[in-house]
Amino acid sequence: MLTYFKNIWIGFYSALVGMKITWKHIFAKKVTIQYPDERFPLPSNARNRLQLMPARCTGCTLCVAACPVNCITLETVRVVPDDPHQELYENGTPRKMWVTRYEMDFAKCCFCGLCVAACPSDAIHHTTDFEYSSLDRSHLYYKFQTLTPEQAEEKKRLFAEFKAREAREKEAKAQAAKPDAPRPEAEV
């Protein structure tokens, strides 16, 4: 009978010893939060998902050159004088290059911030958005260009025509400068 009560006491005492740390932490100050219902405030200089401001981007390619993992894809086309759609940068100066493609693969990005530091126009910056994980890698591929594919093709066509016209004019001038040279063919 004595052994029976002794075993009950040992079991009870073991539970009390085991619960000692639990009780200690119940009354201690909390250091964890119930994410995602609660969130720690992030510092303003946190390096999370990047954002491009197209109205500032000049298409200079410095961010592409600075990126150590080649996760930025950039394509530009020069703005030609006879483009009916002219645009100003955010600072009011006329746009010189159309950014026909500006894409970032955040599955590759290591958030080093080198592209942000390299940008002379302050067109790219880190945001505090870190909740964009996905089971589909294609969701991590962001497209920042504002031109539609059709508009981009139109800009490329205008530039090709401009270059061809420029070449023809150059050729015509060279021909005209030659004495007794045959007249260049008229433009169709």
Positions touching ligand SF4 (CB under 6 A) are: 52, 57-63, 66-67, 69, 71-72, 74, 104, 109-115, 118-119, 121, 123-124
Cβ-proximal residues to 171 (8 Å cutoff; 6+ apart), any chain:
184
Nearer to ligand SF4, 66 or 80 (CB): 66
Nearer to ligand SF4, 58 or 146 (CB): 58
Please state the closest distance from residue 124 (CB atom) to ligand SF4, in A.
4
What secondary structure does DSSP assign to 113-150, as a single string?
-HHHHH-TT--EEE-S------SSGGGGEEE---S-HH
Distance CA 44, CA 127 (A): 9
Which element (helix H / strand E) includes 143? Answer: strand 141-143
Nearer to ligand SF4, 61 or 184 (CB): 61
Nearer to ligand SF4, 8 or 69 (CB): 69
Please state the closest distance from residue 65 (CB atom) to ligand SF4, in A.
8
Please state the closest distance from residue 155 (CB atom) to ligand SF4, in A.
16
Please state the closest distance from residue 187 (CB atom) to ligand SF4, in A.
36
Q: Which residue has the tokens 């040279």?
A: 181
**Among 152, 178, 138, 52, which residue's Cα sits nearest to residue 97?**
152
Judge contact between 163 and 91, C-beta under 8 A: no
Please state the closest distance from residue 61 (CB atom) to ligand SF4, in A.
5
Nearer to ligand SF4, 123 or 147 (CB): 123
